[in-house]
């Protein structure tokens, strides 16, 4: 081993110890190369896997001719280190940057890759870069655009921390900027102007009256939400404003497409639009259907136990859904601890996640 290079991973150790090994190789977003190198090295040493590399994303596959293929995915990167590397074991908890989000999940993937030489389904293991930063840099998104065949499968599990509970699919999200125009004037002579802030009243009234839908999909409840998240307007304390803009975020159930979601938002604010407001779509990301009606998904839920719940947020499972692959979130670790200085994962949770995944795939 070259001096200064990270040590090779020892996958003969248990999943919690492998988590510690991964944490001890810093991999802040954009600087995953060292970790991707050791992951690639250990996977290429396994003769039952075919390994590919794209930038700092590593993909390994079995090709056993099984009737189904599942994809297990996890990101290698972490948020910036906060004096919490190297890892530290304190009783039942392993502390360190990325322990929960999501090097514990990656450790489970690596253990399965090493020890499941003849799984009951073909498996694709995906380790990718730049999840914790802007979507344009996301390694899974890059693979979806340039190497979609590497992500093909019948079912996918994104091993994000979920507290060991299956979280099906994810919500979609979009933002719109609704703008009203007016005419500036001195506030002492307000009749000479046209107050753009006042003209935002129909927008706020529509939000106040809005009743969000609850969608039941594969037995999971997705609660939608339409909310103002920002408002801009005003020039000075003695000026009638000539412009006002309300930013609205719509979190929508995955049975709506992005186009359907935007059309719904336009319908909600039709009265404001009829009075001259403009509605501009500024950001959008699709949701992901859970696919719990699939046999693979049902068997997965039975193997890992617990009662599935909806993912009431957006995650990278949406990228699989866009490729036609139903996906769920499942992994050890508490998502509430992600990105915190005191981030940790329960050792027992990591071992349990591996045992349950192994029971499903062996």
Which residues are known catalytic residues? 77, 131
Handedness of CA 2, 115, 352, 69 (dihedral sign): positive
DSSP E strand boundaries for the chain:
50-54, 57-61, 69-75, 88-90, 93-95, 122-128, 155-158, 167-168, 172-181, 185-186, 214-217, 220-223, 225-233, 239-240, 243-252, 278-285, 309-310, 327-329, 344-346
Handedness of CA 102, 104, 108, 111 (dihedral sign): positive
335 close to 344: Cβ distance less than 8 angstroms: no
What SS3 state is found at 202?
helix
Q: For 57, what's the count of Cα atoms within 13 Å in the CB-facing half-sphere?
A: 24
Place of tokens 């062996």: 362
Say how far residue 66 (Cα) sits from the centre of its chain. Answer: 28
d(CA 201, CA 203): 5
What SS3 state is found at 9?
coil
d(CA 6, CA 32): 12
Place of tokens 């996890």: 74
Q: Is the peptide bond prior to 37 cis by the omega test (within 30 degrees of 0)?
A: no
């Amino acid at each position: 081993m070259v001096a200064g290079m990270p040590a090779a991973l020892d996958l003969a150790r248990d999943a919690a110890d492998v988590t510690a090994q991964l944490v001890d190789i810093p991999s802040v977003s954009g600087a995953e190369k060292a970790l991707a190198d050791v992951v690639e090295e250990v996977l290429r040493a396994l003769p039952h896997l075919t390994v590919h590399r794209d930038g700092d994303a590593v993909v390994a596959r079995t090709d056993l001719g099984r009737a189904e293929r599942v994809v297990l995915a996890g990101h290698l990167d972490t948020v910036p280190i906060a004096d919490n590397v190297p890892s530290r074991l304190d009783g039942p908890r392993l502390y360190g940057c990325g322990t929960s989000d999501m090097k514990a999940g990656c450790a489970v993937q690596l253990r399965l890759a090493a020890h499941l030489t003849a799984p009951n389904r073909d498996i694709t293991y995906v380790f990718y870069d730049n999840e914790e930063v802007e979507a344009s840099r996301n390694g899974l998104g890059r693979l979806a655009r340039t190497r979609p065949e590497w992500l093909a499968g019948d079912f996918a599990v994104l091993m994000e921390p979920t507290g060991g509970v299956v979280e099906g699919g994810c919500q979609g999200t979009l933002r719109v900027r609704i703008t009203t125009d007016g005419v500036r004037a001195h506030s002492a002579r307000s009749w000479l102007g046209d107050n753009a802030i006042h003209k935002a009243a129909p927008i706020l009234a529509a939000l106040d009256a809005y009743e969000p839908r609850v969608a039941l999909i594969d037995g999971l409840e997705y609660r939608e939400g339409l909310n103002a998240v920002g408002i801009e307007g005003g020039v000075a304390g003695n000026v009638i404003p000539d412009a006002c803009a309300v930013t609205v975020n719509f979190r929508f159930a995955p049975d709506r497409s992005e186009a359907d979601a935007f059309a719904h938002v336009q319908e909600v604010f039709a009265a404001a639009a009829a009075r001259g407001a403009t509605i501009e779509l500024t950001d959008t990301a699709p949701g992901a259907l859970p696919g719990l009606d699939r046999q693979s998904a049902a068997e997965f839920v039975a193997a890992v136990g617990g009662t599935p719940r909806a993912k009431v947020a957006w995650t990278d499972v949406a990228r699989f859904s866009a490729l036609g692959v139903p996906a769920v979130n499942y992994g050890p670790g508490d998502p509430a601890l992600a990105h915190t200085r005191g981030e940790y994962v329960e050792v027992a949770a990591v071992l349990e996640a591996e045992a349950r995944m192994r029971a499903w795939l062996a």
